Amino acid sequence: MEPATTAYPATLTIDPPERIANWRPLVQWLLAIPHLAVMYALNILGEILAVISWFAILFTGRLPASIAGMQCMILRYGARLQTYLIFMVDEYPPFTFATATADTGERPRVRVDVVPALENRNRVTTFFRLILAIPHFVAMLVLSLAAVVCVLIAFFAVLFTGRWPEGLRGFVINVARWGLRVQSYCFLLTDEYPPFTLD
């Protein structure tokens, strides 16, 4: 189990299997195509909900629980698809759209739990949210490029040995955690600024 160690309101916990079938890196991306289509639509929905959330928080100081639940579902769906795409887990992601903020556990190897702030929101940081997130966008660009290199190396490692290299796997999981925290911050699920840390 790779538990998150940062006490941030959005956490990602991954329990990767010890071995992955050698053939999975070759075809797992192909099997994920239906999920990629769904994720494309969910990303558009998430951006629309973020804009609605922005106005709702600015005018009322609160985030509607129904919007928070939808955004949590989008984050969870994306994390499950991502770990499957990079052949870190072998269980096919379910087509589930539960809008609970806490993970319901239907896919125990990948858990995304979010504690959204619904009341007494900071309107100033909400107004400047995208500007405040710029340093994280820059960091995520660099980290994502490094993670892509790690996945390419892991592709051949899994193909020949059936195992993700431990160090590479830990790094990619930590980059995914950082990305989840930044996305939850940009989705306005929390006012807590994401930490600049790979854990």
- What's the distance, CA 37 to chain centroid? 17
DSSP strands (E only) in 22-146: 110-114
Mean pLDDT throughout 37-41? 97
What is the overall mean pLDDT for the chain? 93
Mean pLDDT throughout 140-152? 97
**Segment holding 11, helix H or strand E:** strand 10-14
Least confident of 71-75, 102-106, 136-140: 102-106
Say what the pLDDT of residue 5 is.
Answer: 53
What is the per-residue DSSP string for 86-108? TTS--SPPP------SS---SST
pLDDT digits (tens, 9 = 90+) for 49-89: 999 999 999 999 999 999 999 999 999 999 999 999 999 99
Q: Among candidates 174, 45, 180, 165, which has minimal Cα distance to 112? A: 180
Say what the pLDDT of residue 105 is.
Answer: 76
**Which tokens go with 109?**
């190897």
Kindly list the domain boundaries of the chain, sorted by start residue. 10-186
Say what the pLDDT of residue 6 is.
Answer: 60
Least confident of 47-51, 103-107, 176-180, 185-189: 103-107
pLDDT digits (tens, 9 = 90+) for 157-168: 999 999 999 999
pLDDT exceeds cutoff 70 at 1: no
Neighbours of 130 (CB within 10 A): 11
pLDDT digits (tens, 9 = 90+) for 27-36: 999 999 999 9
Cα distance between residue 4 and residue 6, in whole Å: 6
Least confident of 1-5, 99-103, 142-146: 1-5
**Prediction pTM value:** 0.91
